[in-house]
Structure formats: structure tokens, C-alpha cells
Amino acid sequence: MTALRALVALAVVALATVLQVSLFPHFAWDGIVPNLALLVVVGAALVRGPQFAATLGFVAGVLIDLAPPADHIAGRWALALVVVGYLAGRARQDTRPTAIATVLTVAAASFVGTSIFALSGLLLHDPVVGVGEMLEVILVALVWDVLLTPFVLPPVMLLFHRLEPAQVAYR
């Protein structure tokens, strides 16, 4: 059952990765697309807490780093999404998050995630772009992620609720 749960989570993340590169480029603004994998990780964090979300973030990041069009140094998105998953999980409230809290968490997560990726690029001299350009990309990505939140987060959170082991009720 645990293996099945892990498999479903993996499938969701893989689907997000594929849609991000194969579907959303048709709507991309300046090549920037909504970061679906990040949204899934935030959804998981809001439902399941930091430990699960950080692990899922690692898996999602590795997939983004390795799946075909990627040519940057592998591990950079993994690093960004582990931190995002952990922080978003820490920010989780005990009650069901309100819509505004969810949107704010996504905005913060998107900013932190893309920034970590961009900064790791600066440190590793991976791509050579200016800081101004970088900020622009980070902000556009943030707007995209917030725009997609109402469509992606509710089903993702519902799914992770269903997948949650029954520990809360029976422990």
C-alpha cells in the first residue's frame, strides 16, 4: 500500500513535469511556463508536512533535472524543490489552509524556488544571464504559478488527502 502511494505520488510529479515541457510551451510568456512540479510539491507540503514534501520535492527536482530538454547541471532544481517542500511544510497550519493562505504560500514558494535555482546557476557559472533579467524571469514565473494555483492546488491537495495514511484518525 505504501509502495502504491509512493507510485501515485511519483506519477503525479512525472505528469506535472511532462505537461510543463510539452503542453505549456504553447502558452509560454517569453519561454517561461508555470512550474507545475513546484505546485504539486507545495500542495503535498500543505497536506502532508515538511518531511514528505521535501522528499517529493527531491524526486520532482531530479525529474526536471534529468528529463529530456534539461541541459543545466543536474541537482539544481532538486535542491530548490527540497527547500521549497520543507519550508512550505513548516508553514503548514493545523487547520485546512484558506484560499488566501494557499496563494501566499505558492507565491512565496515560487519566489524561493526559482531564486534558489537562479542563484545556484550564478554560483556554478552555469548560464550567464544578468541579474535584472533573472529577476524578471523570477517574477513572471511567480505570476504564472499564482495564476495556475486555483486549477492545480485543489485537486492535488485532495489527492494527497486521499493518499494520506490513516495515522491522524487512529494513532
Partner 1 sequence: MEHRWKGSDGREKDNRPSRSVLIALLLACATMITLDAHGGQDSPVEPARRVAGEAFGPVETFTADVVRPFAAIPDYFGTRKNLRKEVSALEAENAELRRSVETSGLDRNRLAEYDGLTRAASDAGHDLVPAHVIAVGAGQSFSHTVTIDAGTDAGLHADMTVLNNDGLVGRVVRVTRTTATVVLIVDAESVVGGRLASSMEIGFLSGRGVIDGTGRLDLDLMDDSVVANAGDVVTTWGSKAGTPYVGGIPIGRVVSVINSPRETSRRAVIEPFVDFTSLDLVGVVVPRGATSDRDVVRAGEGDD
Among 65, 148, 156, 160, binds partner 1 (CB under 8 A): 65
**Count of chain residues binding partner 1 (CB under 8 A):** 68
141 lies in the binding site for partner 1 (CB under 8 A):
yes
How many angstroms from the chain centroid is the CA of residue 25?
18
**139 near partner 1, rule: CB under 8 A:** no
Q: How many CB atoms lie within 10 A of CB 28?
A: 12
Only one residue has cell 505520488, namely: 9
143 phi and psi angles, rounded to 5 deg: -60, -45
Shortest distance in whole angstroms from residue 19 CB to partner 1: 7
Q: Which residue in the block uniquely carries the three cell numbers 488527502?
A: 161
Q: Is 50 in the site for partner 1 (CB under 8 A)?
A: yes
Tell me how far apart the alpha carbons of residues 122 and 23 are, in angstroms, rounded to a whole number: 29
Q: Least distance (Å) from partner 1 to the CB of residue 33? A: 5
Taking the C-alpha atoms of residue 37 and residue 63, their distance in angstroms, rounded to an integer, is 9
Distances in whole angstroms, Cα of residue 25 to Cα of each of 33, 36, 60: 6, 12, 19
Select the residue interacting with partner 1 from 58, 60, 152, 163 (CB under 8 A). 58
Our CB check for partner 1 shows the closer of 75 and 97 to be 75
Closest distance of CB 81 from partner 1, Å:
9
Give the H or E element holding residue 167. Answer: helix 167-170
The binding site for partner 1 (CB under 8 A) comprises 14, 17-23, 25-26, 28, 30-33, 35, 49-51, 54-55, 57-58, 61-79, 82-83, 86, 89, 94-95, 114, 117-118, 120-121, 124, 126-129, 133-134, 137-138, 140-141, 167-169, 171
